[in-house]
Each structure stands twice: as C-alpha cells, then as structure tokens.
A and B are shown apart, each in its own frame.
Chain A
Amino acid sequence: MSDLVCPVCGKSNPNTVEVCQYCGASLKRSSAASGTSDLPGWLKDIRKSTNAEPAATPDTTRPAQPIEPAGAKDVPFPDFLAGLSNLSDEEDDESPDWLNNLRGVLPDPPLIYAAPSMPRPAQPPAASTEKPPEQPAAPPAENKVFEQLPAAQPQAEPQTPNTDWLKAFDLPDSSGSVGSDIPDAEIDPAIYADLPDWMASLAGLGGQSTPAQPEPSVFEQSPAPANEPVDWLSSLGGDFTAEDNFATSESSAPVAGETPDWMARMSSSQAESGTVQNQPEPDWLASLSSSAVESGGMPGAKEDLQSSALLGSDDWSGLRGSTPGVFDASEGNNPNPGVSALDETPDWITNLQGSDPVSYEPDTKGGSSPAVSPFGELPDWMTNLRDPAATLEKPDWLANLNSSTPDQTSSANIPQAAETPVTPLENDNSAWLANLGGSALDYKAPVSGQTLESGQPAPFADQPDWLSSLQNSQDASFGDNPKQNQPESHETSFRDEVPDWLTSLQGISTPVDSVPAQAQPEPQSISDWKSAPSVPDEALKPNEPQTQNQPFEPEDLEGFSIPGGTGELPDWLARVSQATAVENKPVQGQVPAATAPKTPRQQANESGQSMIGTGQPVRSEVPGLASESGNDQNIDSIFSMETPDWLSNFLPAASQPVSAPSEKDSTPNDLPAAELPSWVQALRPMESVVEETSDNDEPQNVENEGPLAGLRSVLPTQPGLTVAKAPRAYANELLINETQHAQSALLENLINSEKNPQLLPKRPKVSRIQPVRWTIAAVLLLVVFIFAGLGSNVFPSPATPGETSAVGMFLNTVGNLPDNAPVLVIMDYQPGFAGEMESALGPVLENLMNKKARLAFVSTSPVGGLMADRLLSKFSTSYSYQIGQQYVKLGYLPGGAGGIKVFADQPATTLGQDTRSGNLWDTPVLKDVTINSVTSLANFAAVIVATDNPDIGRLWIEQAQPVLGAKPMLMVVSAQAEPMIQPYFQSGQISGLVTGMEGGLLYESALGKSGQARTYWDAYSAALLVAELIIIIGGFWSLRAGLRARRAGQEQDEV
C-alpha cells in the first residue's frame, strides 16, 4: 500500500482515496500525470520491469527508519523511481563498471572528515558515537549555517537566485544543526543495510568525521529558486523556465505547484504519510542519505553540499530526500515536519531521509550516533571505505583528497573555500527535485521566512545520488567555512556545465588549499569535472557584494586543480582530465583577462548563434539571467525536452565553443603544447613574421576557428585588397615607316605565295604517230631490203675523186707509201659502225695489202683489236696476212688523250709488251719502227686512224700528228665524224680522209674494184633518198601543222 501524494497540497493520501483528503484535489489524474507518458525511455523500461515484480515488496532486512512514518513502506514509490529503487536492490551487482571502479577509488570519507582515531565504519555505533577529537564540539554546521543565515546575507537573498532543491538540501542540514527536533536515535541505522558499502561508509564516516561547523545557509540567503530544473525533468514538468521558477520563488508559491504532478504527488503523499517509506531502496542510496545527514553536521558538509550543488547534479534526489529529513530534525521549527520534505520526496528518498538523523545525530550532539547504519550489512568495499585501515589501500590521490579536506577545514584557506557560493544549485534543478526542495522549504518556512517565501526548489537535480552524497559529505567540510554566505549566482554558469557525477567527485577531491587566493577566470567551456573544483575564491569570499545577475566568469575557475595532479587520478579519469585539459586550454585563452567575461549565452546572443550546439542550455537556467533572457529560458526548456540529465550534462563538454585565445592568456605556462599537426605548425608564421606583420598598418584578422586559429592575416580579409591597377595601354600599331611597311607587306606576300601551290605548265602531250613511224620504218626497210637483196647498181658510183679531194689525197698518200712499209692502223670505231667503217676502211686495207704493208693495229677501244680481226678476216682469203708476220695487234691503248700522248711519244714502252708473245716491237712487223733503239711513231710509214668518233679522231690528230712530223696521218671516218674532221683535212693536219660509204665507194672506184661499198651503195642510196624524202615530207607536215595552230590561235583571239 502506497500513498498518493496530492499534486495540489502535496500531502499524502491513502491509496484507496481518489480525492485528496486535505484539499480535495483529484488524485487519479495526478497519479496518471506522473505516469510513464513523460518519462524517459529508460525509466519506462525500468518501471515496466519493476511493475512486473511486486514493487511493494517490503524489505524485511531493512529496518524502519525512525523518522519515517509508519506507513512509509507502504507508500509507493514514484512511478519511475520505484523501478529504480527496486532495481537498486536487485541489481546492485549490475552497477556499471566505472561506478564500481569508482567505488574502489573514492576518497575515503574518514580521511576527509574523520580523525585518525575514527572508528571503523564497520562499527557503526562506535563510529557514530565517537567524535573526532580535533573536531570541536560545535553545533552542527547546518545549525550554524542557519543561525547565520539571516545575518549573513539577507540582502543577497533577493538577488541571488538559488535552486530550491539545493536549498532543500541545505535546509535540513541547517535545521538539523540548529536544533533538530528529530532525535538522533530516530535515525534508523537500518537504512544503511541496503546501501552500497562505499556509500554507506561515506555516510557513516561523514557523519563521524565532519565536525559541525557554522555554515551559512545559502538557502536562506538566497531566494532559492527552483527555476532551473533538469532538462528532461523540466520537460516533464512542462514549460518550466527559470524565469517562472524565479517568479514562483518570489511569490512564495508552493513549490509543489511548480513541480511536475508526479513529483508533487510524491512529495505530498510522503508529507502526508509522515512516515519514511521502508520501500526497498538501494543500499547506496540509504547509506548516502545517512552520510548526507551525518555530513550535514560536519563543518565541511555544507561546503560539500554546495560544491555538489555547484556541479549541478541531478541524481542525488535520494540524498536530497534524506536531507530534508535532516533539515526537519535540525530545524525544529518546521511546523509540519511530516509534510515539509518527506511529503514531496519519493518513498525511497524518504527512507533516506530517515537515515539523515542517524547520521546527523553525532554531529549535532558531538558524539557517536547510535543509529548509525549497520555497517555489518555494508558491502565489503564500502566497509573498507569505512575502515580507516582500508585507507591504506587507497590510491594516493584519494588519500591526498581525503587528507586535504581536513586541511582545508582547518587551514586558513578554509574561509576562502567557504566563499564558494552556493547559488549554482539553482541551475540544474529539476522540477521534481525542485519540488523536493520546495517541500524542504515548506518545512523550513517557519525557520526562515524568506526562504519559504522564495520557495526555491533544491537544485541538486543533475547530480547522481552517490555523488551527491559525496558532495553532501564534502559540504560538511565546507560547512566549517564561515564565509559561505556568498551569492550563488557567480557559480551558476560553470556549475551548469559540470557533469553531475564528476562534479561531485571534484567536490570531494578538490582541496580548498588549492584554491588560489585570487580566482582567475576559467573558460566556461571547461569540462564539468574540472570546472567543479575551480570555484572562484572571490566567489567564496563572504559578504562580498556581488550582483545577482553577474554571470559566471571563467577567471573564477582558474587556480583550481585537482590535488595531486592527474598523476594521482585513476587512469581513466586522468585521461579524461588530460583530454579535458587539452580542450580547455584554448578555451581558457579565449576569455581575455582584462575584459569582462561573457557567458556563452551572452556570446551566443551577440553572435547570434544558437546555444543548442554549444551544449549550454543549463546556462539559461541561471536565475540571474532569467530576467534578462526569458525567451532563452523558454528555448532552453524546449531544448531540454526528453533529455536525461546525464546526457544533458555531457553536452557542454562535448561541444564547447572555441574562441580565439588571447595572447595574454595563452602563456606557455597555462597552455600545453598545441597538438596541431606538423603541417599546420609548419604553416604557422614565425613570431618575427607575426610581429612584423603586426606592425603593419594593414588590418590583421585573427583566425578564430579551425587549425588556423590564432594566426593572423592568413586569409585576406577582403578578396580584392590588392591594388588593382589598370593595365598599361600599349599601342597595337607598330611605328614603322612606309618602307618598312612595304617590306613587311612584300615579305608577307612572299610567304603567302609559298603557301599557294603553283600549277606547273602542262607538258605538251606528244602524240605518237605509230603508223607514221611504222610507215617510215617499213619504207626504209623495204627500200634497203629491195636494193640490198637485189644487189642492184641502180645508183651509180660517184665520180672519181679529185686529187685535191680528201679521198684523192688519201689515195695519193697510200699510193706513196713504200711497199712492206710499217703502217700503224688505229682501229677506234664501234661494232655498230662496222658496216660503214668496213666499207670505207676495207678498200684502204686492201690497198695496203696490195703494197704488203706491215700492219700494226692499235686501238683506244677494247674492241679495236676485234674489229681488226674481223676486217682482216674479210681479206684473209685474198691476202695471206698472218698475225706476227704481216700484222700485229699492239692491243688496247688506255688513258685517252694521255695514253695517246704517251703512245705517240714512247710507243714501245706503252704497248707491244705481251707476256705470251713477248715484245711486239721486236717482231718483223715492227722491226723498222725502232730505229737506233728508238721506237717512235714517226718511224711508221703512215698512221691511219679509222674512227667513227670525231673526238677520237681529233685526239689522235692533236696528240699523234705532231709526233708524226712528216709522216702522213690518214683518217678513215664515219660520215657523222666527217664534219668535225674535215677542218683538219683542210688544215693539212691529216693527209687524206675517207668518209663513210661514199668515201669507201670512191676509194674502191679509184682502185677499180667493186667492194662492199658498192654492195651497199644502192641500198644505202635508196635509203638515203627515202630518208631525205621523209625529212622533206615531214618538214612540210610540220610547217602545215604550225600554220594551222597559229591560224587557230588567231581565230580564237579574234573571237
């Protein structure tokens, strides 16, 4: 049986009723409203799995918490948290690895809060009852905080927006410290039964070790607006904007009215029931709640709480639920303790609340709480955490963290650390958590009227529970800081961006010592877990007036660092930190130190960029900015629809806007070496170049984005900056005179004429008149055949040659030769002219043979000797001339004119040396040639040159005739050579000349013999006659054709 929380009044009603017993509101609709319609999918799944099982199965192993009402167990969980609570019990082992690992490396709470003499966490009674000796027996921190609240910062209340949930968290602590009506014994240690060990240890140790220090309650100072719900929760709650929340807080409207129905119902049901539900809740939640209660009394509890709130965690609702319980107990002024906080918290959170007094009791009373959670039921690792001896096994960095926390509480820096504003709690509030805060406020309203009027919900909506517990415990350490009355608006900006869980971790691990005296700006885009510890010191300073709307300045984050550095962090966390550091480095440089930093939203508003991509929707939830940008809050609420907290918390770190780092901030000490690619580094200008360029008057633009970020004047600011000069005009015409122009034209024409092919004149076609040719040939052949075949003497022989004629003189010369005289016959005619030559030379030789002349044949032609043999053969029958006896063949005389010259000068040395026959000059034929051992042509009686070539005859005349002297040189030549040789006869150089057929016939005629010449004479004469006729006919034919052609041309010209 679970009670129903009235969405209107927030009171718990029995499950059976449909109408609120207090206000008469319908409970059905609110129950339905808190259904699964607006829940994330993962929560729906959880609910489904939970509903399948008996959700209301009582946990028998868990003792009932004293502060819980009797019917608390029967009060059903809120729908979506119910599944979580069940799963936490059943699926404790299914916690993620990182969480498990985190458990092992979590800082040991005893080291943080407890003294070395702190008992083992496994002994809750002793641990809870014992009080660290070094911790003063002061009232709980929350008590002091709430006592100082009115005086600490009353004026900052209206200005500093506060998240209601955080306030709700702080209020119980404060109330518990001030004067909790809840006895310590009411805190049921059984709530630690189901908590994780480590969480339980945190709770127990925190309660033991953290001394109760006066801590200014931020919730009282600030209006505690619950106007910044977690996105998805905001979506569940409708258009839940910061502005609305802020207005709501100012109007002191019930927080439950602004919270989602389901949450409001939850709170109301819990409030009405007045009992802490004993629903099966996770062990870790239970322990966390107890630890939160315990830490609430410690000096650093408040600070831890604040730091956790700064980180904007959402998921620590259980812890917060427990916190009101503490608040209720401590405040004591709550007129309706059963309704204040517990009525709006889920059951399981209410159970946690029941544990708060347990953890709180030793703080408030300064002794160990007997109601400490049963550590015997804690897991081992949690037990180890509780066990001081287990701290020996902690990592160093955890040890440093733990050790640093007491230091900060006791050191002089604590006040500075206490200056950490608590305001960021407003930023990450979720609606339901805000309701929780509202419930707490409702409970606290009698104590602090301002706070009640503000009605701000607690802002711890974005933080996991376990981390919130850590924060809570850390807040206990911060609670010692009296200077925590700082406005919270300074830290809202960066707290929004910090992941919850990591923020909580940082809240634990961040030592206050590391906070520099003067806070330096830190980029807002810094990752959450790193940004969390970087709480500005100035913000931590108490009583320092700060404007409510002043956004968070990144400079405030500088100086914060994780103690021990990353080397002491776990590997994964160190990697994350390194990566985050790399990402943050340029971001740090973005914010100029001299200028007032601007929030990302402001930058976005200026640049017109959307904040969606920047992942900073949370910043719009800053209450201080709510009044300035109400529209942005609406947009943020839209963007935050259906976004889980854990996912939305990742957004800022995932997409941080990158701005150009300033040179002032980008000092080598602040920035690590850039991991730009080598090629990009190569492109980066050298400093000298940069300086030079910076000196130029030209505007230099600094690249803001991309790999060229930080470079100046890499790209031209304007495309056409280069001075565009008009091209110089050049004349297209050449300055030339007339002559040059004419010459160029001539050359151009000449070149062009070469390109044009010139047609060659047609070759006149010579028509072959084959019939005419054949006719001429036939006529000649016929004539020759007729006259040669017939052997006629039709044509008479020419008349006897005259004495002065060439043939006559030849006859006389030969006639004058003595008998048996050596005669040199030069046979230089070709076989083709044999017929003519033989006709002419034959009678001469016959005449010589008649005189028994000794013939020596020599020839300048290779065939001369052959012709001699042929001619002699014709007379062989008539004359018995034998070679070597009557005639000799001296052979071939080579060398042309020279040979003839040599032969004429030295005939014996030139020719006549035969290897076979010996020296021919010694033969009887030539025996008279060599006179006195001198062989000379002049020794021959006559030299007869028979040739058909006038040149050969001329050579012999020119070369040999001078040598002959008085000796006659006779020539027998062809008819074609006669015109050339005739002058030599006229000149007297030759003594006689017989020319061709006619000369031979004359010679025969003179001799009175009929020889070959006569045989051929008729045929020759007839052929010659025909030839002459043909030539004449041909001449006339050609003349006639020419006349016709000319006449035709004239006619064409006339036409």
Chain B
Amino acid sequence: MLSTISQTDLITGFLSFLFTLLILSYMVGDNPAFRMAVHIFTGVSAGYIVLVAFQAVVNMFAPLINGSSPDRFLLIFPLILSLLLFGKTSSRFEWMGRPVVAFMVGVGTAAVIGGAVLGTLFPQIMAASSMFDLHKTTGPVNAAGSLTAGVLVLIGTIVTLIYFQFTLFGKNKVTGKRGKLIGFISLIGQIFIVITLGVIFSGVLSAALAALVDRINSLILFIDHLLAFIA
C-alpha cells in the first residue's frame, strides 16, 4: 500500500498534515496559524461551492437546450423567476425579487411543515403510542419492555413539555414561582432534557474523537507514507 502512494497523495497528505497541525495549534490559543488554516479552508470551500452551485443551476436549465418542448415550456417560469430574483441585487429593482423569494419561502415552509407533520409528528406519535400496543409485542417481556419504554417516553415527553410551561396561575402569580408539583415535574423534565443533551453531547464527543482519530490516523499515515517515500 505504501508503494502505491503517488506524489499526488504525498502532496495532498502533506497539505493534510500541515493544515491538521495548524488547526491543532488552537490548543494553545488563537494564533495566526490557526486563522490562516481557517481562512484557507473557507476560501477553498467557497470557491468550490460557487462552482458546484453554478454548475448545478446551469444544469438545471439544460432542458431548454436539449429537452423536449414541454420541458422547455416548463422551464420558462423557473427561468423568469430566477431572472427576477436578480432584482434583489439592486435597491431599485429589489421589488422584482420579492415574489420569487416569497414563493421560495412559501414552498420551503410548506415543505418543512408538511414534512414535519407527516414525516415526524404523526409517525412519532404513532410510534410512541405503539409502545402501549401490547398486541404488537411479542411476549410479555417485550410487552413490558415496550410498555416501560413507552411510559418512560411518555413521562419523559410530558415532563419535558411541562418543564417548558412558564405560565403561572393562582397564587403562584403573586410569588412568581412555580408550584411544587409543576416544579417537581419540571425538575423531572430537566432530567430528561439533561439526559438527552448528554446523549447528544456524547454523540458529538464520539464524533469529535472519531475525527481526531481520523486526523491522527491521517498524520500517522502521512508519516508512514513519507517514510516509505523516503525509504
């Protein structure tokens, strides 16, 4: 494997090694090496993104050239809306891009909401309620486990929602403090939230450690390749 390392891999491996060290220099604090590496990554990524985005937009209107007539006709409207969107670059013609932006926001919002309701809310509700469906379970253990899981999920969901209940009623309005029950539930909700955040943090930490390992492994690989190249 080392013998197959080309010079290109060596150069890219060197650059990877170099920029990895520059980024790791942040351990001692903000320094020009770190900022330089960040700027380089930002610039390269931006340039690459522009090219990819332009290629993707241009390719989107490719049917106007090689497409069928219906495809060409259908692309007229996106083309007009795209041209009107350029009006946002000028204050004088800014009004021209407003409908296009409104259209995109509307479509995107509708898509998100529809997707959230249909893709997340209802399925999650169904999944949560299914835990209490003992018929779908096979065996009492699974049923108990499913029910327990379901109860915990339910409790966790309720207490988490109650934690975010900040409205006070009755005499609590005078004191400005939650009642003991709501306070206790909120506390349980905080625990569920903390556990969730801990799980998320552990995933982030594991992802970071995986990245660190990848980078250290890359360094080690570069050094290995370098040594092999030298040898």
Contacts and interface: CB of A to CB of B under 8 A. Distances in A.
Is chain A's interface secondary structure helix, strand, loop, or mixed overall?
helix
A976 B48 contact: no
B32 interface: no
Contacts of A603: none
B60 interface: yes
A3 interface: no
A898 B111 contact: yes
A589 interface: no
A838 B210 CA distance: 10
Interface in A575-598: none
Interface stretch (B85-93, B117-125, B159-167, B180-188): B117-125
B153 to A, nearest CB: 9
Interface stretch (A60-68, A249-257, A828-836): A828-836
B15 to A, nearest CB: 13
Interface stretch (B63-71, B94-102, B170-178): B63-71
Interface in B188-231: 196, 199-200, 202-207, 209-218, 220
A891 B55 contact: yes
Interface in B38-78: 45, 48-49, 52-53, 55-60, 62-63, 65-67, 71, 74
A435 interface: no
A899 B214 CA distance: 32
Contacts of A891: 52, 55-56, 59
A974 B55 CA distance: 29
A785 B203 contact: no
B206 A975 contact: yes
A1026 to B, nearest CB: 9
Interface residues of B, number: 57
Given A774-B28, A788-B216, A976 B203 contact: yes
A913 B62 contact: yes
A958 B120 CA distance: 6
Interface stretch (A307-315, A382-390, A605-613, A977-985): A977-985
Interface stretch (A350-358, A627-635, A642-650, A1012-1020): A1012-1020
A897 B111 contact: yes
Contact of A979 (B63, B65, B200, B215): B200
Interface in A1018-1054: 1019-1020, 1023-1024, 1027
B27 interface: yes
Given A915-B62, A959-B111, A976 B127 contact: no
Contacts of A781: 24, 212, 216
Contacts of B63: 909, 913
Given A891-B59, A978-B203, A979-B196, A897 B115 contact: yes
A620 B62 CA distance: 136
B112 interface: yes
Nearest to B149: A986
A137 interface: no
Nearest to B66: A918
Given A913-B60, A996-B206, A1015 B217 contact: yes
B104 interface: yes
Contacts of A788: 213, 216-217, 220
Contact of B116 (A894, A898, A958): A958
Interface string A996-1020: 1110000000000000000110011
Nearest to A834: B214
Interface in A733-773: 770, 773
Given A774-B28, A962-B119, A983-B127, A1024 B111 contact: no
Interface string A859-892: 0001101100000000000000000000000011
A959 B108 contact: no
Contacts of A862: 48-49, 52-53
Contacts, number: 186
A987 B203 contact: no
A976 B111 contact: no
Contacts of A909: 63, 71, 74
Interface in A893-916: 893-898, 900-901, 909-911, 913-915
Interface residues of A, number: 71
A809 interface: no
Given A788-B217, A835-B213, A862-B49, A914 B62 contact: yes
Contacts of A838: 214
A1016 B66 contact: no
A948 B211 CA distance: 12
Contacts of B66: 918-919
A794 interface: no
A989 B126 CA distance: 11
B107 interface: yes
A997 B205 CA distance: 12
Contacts of B206: 836, 975-976, 996-998, 1020, 1024
A839 interface: yes
A784 interface: yes
A892 B56 contact: yes
A972 interface: no
Contacts of A995: 203
Interface string A262-295: 0000000000000000000000000000000000
A915 B60 CA distance: 9
A974 B203 contact: yes
Nearest to B61: A913
Nearest to A1015: B217
A978 B204 CA distance: 10
B102 to A, nearest CB: 13
Interface string A820-843: 000000000000111110110000
B161 to A, nearest CB: 16
A865 B220 contact: no
A784 B107 CA distance: 47
B210 A988 contact: no
Contacts of A780: 209, 212
B62 to A, nearest CB: 4
Given A835-B217, A983-B127, A892 B53 contact: yes
A670 B174 CA distance: 104
Contacts of A865: 52
A784 B52 contact: no
A703 B81 CA distance: 97
Given A862-B52, A892-B52, A898-B107, A836 B214 contact: yes
A896 B109 CA distance: 10
A839 B214 CA distance: 9
Contacts of A987: 123-124, 126-127
Nearest to B65: A915
Contacts of B52: 862-863, 865, 891-892
Contacts of A997: 206, 210, 213
A785 B213 CA distance: 8
Contacts of A774: 27-28
Contacts of B104: 895, 898
Nearest to A912: B59
Given A862-B48, A979-B199, A1024-B209, A913 B215 contact: no
A509 interface: no
A896 B62 contact: no
Contacts of A948: 207
B9 to A, nearest CB: 10
B115 A959 contact: yes
A503 to B, nearest CB: 104
14 contacts: A781-B24, A785-B220, A835-B217, A862-B52, A892-B55, A913-B59, A915-B58, A958-B119, A961-B119, A975-B204, A976-B200, A987-B123, A988-B127, A995-B203
Interface of B: 24, 27-29, 45, 48-49, 52-53, 55-60, 62-63, 65-67, 71, 74, 104, 107-108, 111-112, 114-116, 118-120, 123-124, 126-127, 196, 199-200, 202-207, 209-218, 220
Given A948-B207, A955-B115, A996-B203, 13 more contacts: A781-B212, A785-B220, A788-B216, A863-B48, A894-B56, A913-B63, A915-B65, A918-B66, A919-B66, A958-B119, A979-B200, A983-B127, A1023-B209
